[in-house]
Amino acid sequence: MSKKAIVLQTTLELITKQGIRATSLSQIIKTSGVANGTLYHHFKNKEEIISELYLMLSQDFGTVVMRNLPEEDTKKQFAIMWQNLFYYFVNNPLAFIFSEQIARSPEIPTSLKNQARQYYKDIEAFFRETIRKKEFKAYDILVMEELFFGNVVSLVKLYENKGGNLKERCINQAIEISWKGFLKKAE
């Protein structure tokens, strides 16, 4: 792992454990084991580390959600998108905590959140296309994305509360409920 990657990983671990404000640059340096000069070679300050981490994880979310989608079937695409995000969060608990506690906090500037939207263009395009094809109701795209995300997050929390013991049937039910909430016509 590169020194830059070590700094980013250490920062992720620290801020998910104790928050952005409680995590100091000196603590990042000490915990990462990276020399001052090396850290400053890659980053000007803590804010730059947080920004890069935020954008990196946003890009991961956007990429993971759209992975391995079939060409045509919208319902299958939706289910795979849903499962992709669910299993990404289950298998990457720090990314899940970051997305829930840090990414949505007021400590992340709106300008950075707006910059990260570029990584969700394919997700946005999916919802726009389903509306255009009159498969989904014509809701605000941002609301649709947030509700999609929120449904996945709710099930990840249930999964965690059950100690990782959640039947596939429950996951499929959650996907079906989420799907039906967006549909223009009932199935």
Beta bridge partners of 183: 136
Distance CA 108, CA 103 (A): 6
Q: How far is CA 174 from the centre of its chain?
A: 18
Note the pLDDT tens digit of each residue in 88-119. 999 999 999 998 888 888 889 999 999 999 99
Q: Which residue has the tokens 């980053």?
A: 43
**CATH class of domain segment(s) 1-43:** mainly alpha
Q: What are phi and psi of 136, to 5 degrees?
A: -110, 155
Fold designation for 51-182: Tetracycline Repressor; domain 2 (1.10.357)
Domains of the chain by residue range: 1-43, 51-182
Note the pLDDT tens digit of each residue in 60-76. 999 999 999 998 899 99
Note the pLDDT tens digit of each residue in 149-176. 999 999 999 999 988 888 899 999 999 9
